[in-house]
């Protein structure tokens, strides 16, 4: 069993000058590909169950799947709840065997976000697992606008919540399909001077790969969440598999063709965050 907490993988990353990939999962085939990619690269991986994943598969099932996959490999695997919006979400994930809870109170007023995140962190730590919170608001491509993280608020949030990882808004957005943007490095530097908590970037697919690498090695950003980039690879591979055999109908046989491409894409992501 190589099941790990978020703190187990982020603290070495903070000291070692690299970041860990928080790979957003949707089903068994991509989860398995991500874990096999991590094993092939000899790197830790964070398997993330976000709202769309949880809408498709119940948390108790996801917890069992994540733990089963961790048993297959020698590298650390974190079973992470991504964007838990309520205490009940987080409590169910804890009871389902998750080793990390991300509570998202970023839409709430600062004091409420701090108070509720601190309660989740206390619950997580009492159970021997980790907690991630978000300060500022990371928006969505063609959706809600972002609200950049204020460094002074970040310092207070880190100090009063006790989180093991702090997600920040510094030009990143969820669901971005291109890499034409980039992160606000001045804001990142201002935030990292006031805290030693490992920093997290949601919406990492939209960050240029060279900037991801450089920031992983030179800042306190220790986790990049990657989802859209991998889903694009999945979709392209699936379309190619179906086009290659228009009479195919067996789900298992079709996805067997897709999984190696997902593993290759995941290996590229993980390698791109590693130390040289």
Using an 8 Å Cβ cutoff, are 45 and 35 in contact? Answer: yes
Residues 6+ apart with CB under 8 A from 151: 187, 190, 191, 193, 194
Q: Which of 36, 82, 150, 164 is catalytic?
A: 82
Rounded Cα gap, residues 219 and 30, in angstroms = 29
Exposed (0-12), middle (13-18) or buried (19+): which is 108, by Cβ within 10 Å?
middle
DSSP letter (8 states) at residue 147: B
Rounded Cα gap, residues 169 and 202, in angstroms = 8
- 82 a catalytic residue: yes
What is the end-to-end Cα distance of the chain in Å, rounded? 27
List the catalytic residues.
82
């Amino acid at each position: 069993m190589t099941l790990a907490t978020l703190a187990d993988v982020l603290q070495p990353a903070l000291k070692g000058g690299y970041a860990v990939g928080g790979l957003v999962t949707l089903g068994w085939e991509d989860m398995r590909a991500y874990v096999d990619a991590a094993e092939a690269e000899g790197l830790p991986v964070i398997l993330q169950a976000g709202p769309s994943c949880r809408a498709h598969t119940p948390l108790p099932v996801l917890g069992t799947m994540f733990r089963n996959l961790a048993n297959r490999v020698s590298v650390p695997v974190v079973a992470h709840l991504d964007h838990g919006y309520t205490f009940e979400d987080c409590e169910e994930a804890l009871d389902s065997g998750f080793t990390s809870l991300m509570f998202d109170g970023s839409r709430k007023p600062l004091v409420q976000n701090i108070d509720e995140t601190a309660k989740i962190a206390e619950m997580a730590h009492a159970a021997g697992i980790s907690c991630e919170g978000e300060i500022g608001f990371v928006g969505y491509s063609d959706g809600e606008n972002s609200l950049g993280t204020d460094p002074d608020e970040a310092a207070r949030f880190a100090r009063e919540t006790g989180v093991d990882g702090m997600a920040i808004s510094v030009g990143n957005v969820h669901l971005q399909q291109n890499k034409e943007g980039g992160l606000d490095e001045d804001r990142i530097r201002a935030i990292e001077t006031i805290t030693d908590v490992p920093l997290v970037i949601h919406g990492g697919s939209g960050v240029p790969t060279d900037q991801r690498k450089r920031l992983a090695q030179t800042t306190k950003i220790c986790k990049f969440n990657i989802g859209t980039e991998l889903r694009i690879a999945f979709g392209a591979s699936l379309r190619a598999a179906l086009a290659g055999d228009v009479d195919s109908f067996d789900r298992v046989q079709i996805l067997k063709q897709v999984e190696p491409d997902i593993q290759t894409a995941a290996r590229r992501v993980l390698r791109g965050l590693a130390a040289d």
